[in-house]
Chains A and B, each alone.
Chain A
Amino acid sequence: MRQDERLEEGALIARAKNGDMDAYESLVRLFQHRIYRLCWRMTGAHQSADDMAQETFIKAFQALSRFRDGQDFYPWIRRIAVNTTLNYLQAHKREEPLGDREPSVPDELPQDELQRREAEDRFQEAWQALPSDQRAVFTLRVVENQSYREIAESLHLAPGTVMSRLNRARRKLKDALADFLERRRG
């Protein structure tokens, strides 16, 4: 993160803490993409991701007084986002995830693009089949690049649980995509 961005972030947080809504709106703009993506990966649907991202920022504003100055804002709000989304997913466990259906792929796309899209579709399918807790751990590890210890702290889990969930998630994804991976290698 660049220095000026960091300074801007700190200033915005300080103003938002004093109830400045405009400052908080600017702060939201700084992080909205990252938080939305994180939520989207965990929920797999635009509507839920949007709801969770909105809720994350609202909760963050309400908890802003507990934010320690000098701390990085993203890890702090990421933790809120992950827990908010996990709670939501736990509460809506039985509901079929409302996956976003992309329009069917036109035939005139180049071969590479077709393959890439197929890979993504296959991955999405396998990804949606994962249990939400495994999806959360896997997202934090592979996408957010957090260490086991950080994941364990933010999800209030034992490091051993993080490891076993990651292993299970990887194995399931690998099994679901085995034929596809084989074909690509061959």
Chain B
Amino acid sequence: MRHRKVLALLGSYLDGELDPRLRDGIEAHLRGCPACSKERDALRAVDALAANARLPQAPPTYWETFAGRVTAGLRGLELPISRKETAMFQDSFIKPERRTATRAVVFPLSLAAHAIIAALLIIFPLLQTGNVPRIEITSAFLAPPPPPPPPPPPPAKKASTSNVKRIKPVQAQTNFEAGKLVAPVEIPDQIAEEQISDVGIEGGVEGGVEGGVIGGVLGGVVGGVLGGVVGEVEAPVRAIGEIKPPRLIKQVDPTYPEIARQARVEGIVILEAQTDLYGRVATMKILRSIPLLDQAALDAVRQWVYEPMIINGRPRGVIFTVTVRFTLK
């Protein structure tokens, strides 16, 4: 038998735990091997030291009270556990390790509850864009001063004879008689230089216009201009004062631009729109601009149709302001 195997089995040999065959083999080896015998003796000495190790001498009172302390401890255990622990840990930050199973259940629930609360506090308001306080715009926009009233309508066309009555004939008042020279009563202090108009009729009017044409053509041109003025479009009127903006017949809601929605841009775009004779929006001009929303407002208003404005029996274009309000919902 080899030394290594013998050394590995020596302990078991000393303990008498080896089967007879191995034991005999080791005994045979030990007889012829002083080194292994020495090892066996050393192990025996260790065992003897362990078995005879001096035990601590507890004072006699210790043994007298030991059993009593055990039973006192047992009686203490019969107290409610919570009371015991409260008394023991009331001044401690360390909580007793118990109810681990309960906590294992409560912990995920607590996590979920926190997540829900966080979602309610953070995510939900983000989704509710409509609740953002709306700022009312109080500033007024002043339209530019109205242009001078349109010139009086030209002589009625033949076709619309019924409307001719509306035009009151005005008696021209003249201080002089035509074709008669009147000497000035007073000598003027200054004689204004004659304004030579460039717009004069080249070559002059043969025979001149006696007495000039003051007050226009009295009574109009009898018979009018045959055929009228084909394609004549009267200048549009501005919806100010008596002239109310036309009634809207067809309204197309503007589409909210996605970029403006994401940027949370809202507000009012004010346009100046001009309708044509048929009430369709012909031209537009932005009076108050919100850059992200202008195009949407223009696109929508371009499709709007108004009731045609009839002034003096004739359809007219109208200029008026249109307010397009953009609010996020």
Residues of chain A at the chain B interface (Cβ within 8 Å): 21, 24-26, 28-29, 32-33, 36-37, 40-41, 46, 49-50, 53-54, 57-58, 61-62, 100, 119-120, 123-124, 127, 138-139, 141-143, 147-148, 163, 166-167, 170, 173-174, 177-178, 181, 184-185
Contact = CB atoms under 8 A, between A and B. Distances in A.
Contacts of A36: 58, 66
B47 interface: yes
B53 A123 contact: yes
B11 A28 contact: no
Q: Label chain A's interface by main secondary structure.
A: helix
Contact of B42 (A58, A124, A141, A181): A181
B71 to A, nearest CB: 5
A142 B51 contact: yes
11 contacts: A21-B71, A25-B67, A25-B70, A28-B66, A32-B66, A36-B66, A37-B55, A58-B73, A127-B53, A147-B17, A174-B42
Given A32-B67, A147-B17, A127 B58 contact: no
A26 B74 contact: no
A123 B69 CA distance: 32
A141 B74 contact: no
A46 B43 contact: no
Nearest to B55: A37
Interface of B: 8, 11-12, 15, 17, 39, 41-43, 45-47, 49-51, 53-56, 58, 62-63, 66-71, 73-75, 77
Given A32-B66, A54-B69, A174 B43 contact: yes
B47 A142 contact: yes
Contacts of B11: 163, 166-167, 170
Contacts of A185: 41
A118 B75 CA distance: 44
A36 B68 CA distance: 15
B67 A143 contact: no
Contacts of B54: 120
Contact of A148 (B17, B41, B58, B68): B17
B17 A163 contact: yes
Contacts of B46: 170, 173-174, 177, 181
Contacts of A120: 49, 53-54
A25 B50 CA distance: 30
Nearest to B16: A147
Nearest to B77: A58
Nearest to B67: A28
B43 A170 contact: yes
B67 A29 contact: yes
